[in-house]
Structure 1
């Protein structure tokens, strides 16, 4: 049995197409990352548990590290997704704003990690609740077990995530609120959850140290190396918004092989990715400067509308290209080499945004 001594509700989510059940990882034995306001989460294993092998311990550690990064990424992404729904055009959806998983969300030795550390069973359990979402307003909590939606029992077992998304997605798209029944501390709790309009992009963390980010039209992935390089929440928001903007503007479909980028993302989201497929960015072509500049402009508006400062954008991108120029394989600058052009667009857009903010004009690009 796993005992949770301190619990916390984290604002992390990801989006799967138009589904309202949002798949992502949940919390592990970690302390909050810099800038996080949540208390530490501590989960321990009872003394009478079977002996944990080195492989099992490594799997738990790997899972925990990736979960902590994923949680931070979604906390940062949340205001970008919610506050820019109107800019996302056809890619905005009605969502509930929570994630849920069970032990079958993992495979191999990670099933043990999910069971022992996260206390997952066959039922879907709320992993995180997005701050400001309908789920948060309704009082949904991390650890709630999903029982039913609009009176229909929600699935359990190996395919529960996919099956539940198929049930919740249509309900969220056609209703303003959704009646959920959850189990909390062995008591059934009914909740009326308002839907949340948000950009329907799935946000992923890539388990590699190369400094890059990818967008395939529906998803955004930032590598662990990029998160570590960026350091601050604000800088991470710049990268997230930039690739969201590429998705909104349709650049992934018009300038690159969507299949190639999707394959890279599929690989990097695994806990142990195959890094050999990243050589030379696996055939991903550099982004044309006009499209890169357009994404920079839109992304800065998205950043400002989400409550982040645009003041440090130029310095961040300049630092990135100086330390990791276009000659570095599998690096961000190699895929976005038009640095001088981009910086000129960034300077102009930041000034434009400041002017609108000072005169209280709408932040619309």
Structure 2
């Protein structure tokens, strides 16, 4: 573990910015029926419960996860050694992506039916370079028909897995404006983490080594994309450093993430079975996550203030709060400014060396 961390730190010191490529994230845009309320500073940010407002809120949250998470996944590919994958650069949905009471509204608003439709194309990805657009309907991949119906997303991912491992690009046929269009989509080196939207209003994030879940409450609290980048990159760092496995948290975290994907969640009891993050693990993850956020193009000067605000507003006295699972708040906040200064200095030297002579 020590050797691995030292190797990762050397990678941080000598990192280079990678091309902005991104993965296929089958969007789990499930409508929540919860009545949770999340607080942002002194303002009350309501999680919508039904109707068009709920649908728009969910889609907007998923779009932010795709955009911010996509940049972080692709620009940190060389740090995700065991989790490295070649992936595509768009998210998809059909009418079955939503709960029964929202399916007809989703069909009316976005024209969704049994077929998978592209909902979001990540800027800088192979999908964007190939010209894919929001609203394109997937018809064929490598001349194989794309699955349709209730399990279309799951079955499409299963179909893609062997293709992605053997090819550098994939040939897709899409339907756009009632006309078929053939495109070749370059595959993207990226961290192979799935970033999910949790159907609960508590302000927290979870990772199980292969997935990251950001709750709706955290989405509202992380008002800017930079704030959201701090949150996602922190869980990416925990995954890269293998913290869930080391703490024997993997099973509990996986179960919790599975539960929070449902509408309403099957269990929102909080963090049953999860062990709090030790101080050293949290500080190591903070350091790596700050470098990851910067690599993704996000400024990190506000990181200390963001985490301080989160700890103040949502203290560890509530077991469902982020701080309860990351209790070393004082040590983290004390170490963070020095880490920010060091990482920014590394970035400045890298840019100077990259300038043409």
TM-score, normalised relative to structure 1: 0.80
**Which residue of structure 1 lines up, in the alignment, with residue 264 of structure 2?**
272
Which residue of structure 2 lines up, in the alignment, with residue 239 of structure 1? Answer: 231
Residue 58, structure 1, aligned to residue 61, structure 2: no
Task: Give the distance between the partners of 1:86 and 1:362, measured in 2 at CA.
Answer: 21
Give the 3-state SS of the residue equivalent to 2:134 in structure 1. coil
Q: Is the Cα contact below 8 Å between 2:122 and 2:128 reproduced in 1?
A: yes
CA drift at 1:122: 1.7
- 1:27 positional shift: 12
Q: In angstroms, what is the RMSD of aligned CA positions?
A: 2.4
Equivalent residue, structure 1, for 2:345: 355
1:24 and 2:27 matched: yes
1:196-251 per-residue CA deviation (whole Å, 9 max, x = no partner) reads: 11111111222322211111111111222222222121111111100110011111
The alpha-carbon deviation at position 275 of structure 1 amounts to: 5.5
Q: Higher relative contact order by CA 8 Å / sep ≥ 6: 1 or 2?
A: 2
Whether the 8 Å contact between 2:198 and 2:257 is mirrored in structure 1 is yes
Q: Which residue in the other structure is 1:131 paired with?
A: 123
Matched, 1:94 2:86: yes
Report the TM-score when normalising by structure 2.
Answer: 0.82
Q: CA deviation at 1:264?
A: 1.6
Aligned residues: 315
Measured against aligned partners, the alpha-carbon deviations of 1:2-30 in whole angstroms (never above 9, x if no partner) come to xxxxxxxxxxxxx9xxxx753105799xx
Listed as ranges, the matches of 1:89-238 within 5 Å are: 89-238=81-230
Q: Deviations over 1:310-337 (max 9, x none)?
A: 1111111122222222212211111101
Encode CA deviations 1:59-79: one digit per residue, 9 max, x unaligned: 544333222111112212121
- Determine the structure 1 residue equivalent to 2:285: 295
Give, in angstroms, the shift of residue 127 of structure 1: 1.6
Alpha-carbon offset, residue 354 of structure 1:
2.1
For residues 269 and 217 of structure 1, the distance between their equivalents in structure 2, rounded to whole angstroms, comes to: 17
**2:5 corresponding residue in structure 1:** none
Instruction: Say whether the 8 Å CA contact 2:72–2:295 is kept in structure 1.
Output: yes
Does the 8 Å contact 2:29/2:58 carry over to 1?
no
Residue pair 2:85, 2:192 contacting (<8 A) in 1 also: yes
- Whether the aligned pair in 1 keeps the contact of 2:205 and 2:218 (CA below 8 Å) is yes
1: CA distance, partners of 2:95 / 2:350: 49
Q: Deviation at 1:191? A: 0.4
196-205 vs 107-116, greater mean Cα deviation: 107-116
The answer on whether the counterparts of 2:66 and 2:91 sit within 8 Å (CA) in structure 1 is no
**What residue is the counterpart of 1:6 in the other structure?**
none
Match among 247, 255, 260 for residue 263 of structure 1: 255
Residue 327 (structure 2) pairs with residue 337 (structure 1): yes
Bigger mean CA deviation after superposition, 260-269 or 235-244: 260-269
Aligned mates of 2:29, 2:203 — CA distance in 1: 24
* Alpha-carbon separation, structure 2, partners of 1:191 and 1:96: 13
Structure 2 residue 316 is matched with structure 1 residue 326: yes
- Aligned position for 2:274: 284
Question: Matched residue of 1:214: which SS?
Answer: strand
- Structure 2 portions without partners, runs of 5+: 1-21, 32-48
CA distance in 2, matches of 1:274, 1:362: 52
Contact 2:25–2:91 (CA under 8 A) maintained in structure 1: yes
Residue segments in structure 1 that go unaligned for 5+ positions in a row:
1-14, 29-56
* Alignment-derived partner of residue 315 in structure 1: 305
